[in-house]
Amino acid sequence: MKKSMQTARITNDGITFSVAVGFVVRECLIPKQTLSYICRTWGNDMESMDAFRAYEDTIMSVARRLVVADAGKSPVILERKFFPW
């Protein structure tokens, strides 16, 4: 099981999870609106956690890029603009 799946949790704002890049571990948030956008883009209608699981590889890749780019605030918020499909 992937680490994010062990730590992913549903909140009122979306899904929170942690991502490790090198020796840095950062908390991340993907808002419900961003998950809805991802689902609509791919033509799926899923609940938040199901969408997170279905697109986890892409979500984790975006989260890692933001951590490497030193997105600054914590949690790192994965906004819709970071998924330009």
How many angstroms separate the CA atoms of 74 and 6, rounded? 19
1-23 per-position pLDDT tens digit: 344 445 899 999 999 999 998 88
Helix (H) or strand (E) holding 60: helix 56-68
Q: Is the dihedral of CA 57, 60, 23, 5 positive or negative?
A: negative
Position 6 scores a pLDDT of 55
Tell if the pTM clears 0.85, that is, is over it.
no
Residue 30 and residue 52 in contact, taking contact as beta carbons nearer than 8 Å: yes
* pLDDT tens for each residue of 23-52: 888 999 999 999 998 888 877 777 888 889
Confidence class for position 71, pLDDT limits 50, 70, 90: low
- At 40, list the tokens: 């609509």
The whole-number pLDDT of residue 46 equals 78
pLDDT for res 72? 66
**Contact predicate 19/67, CB 8 Å:** yes
Q: Structural domains in the chain? A: 3-82 (3.30.160.140)
pLDDT of residue 51: 87
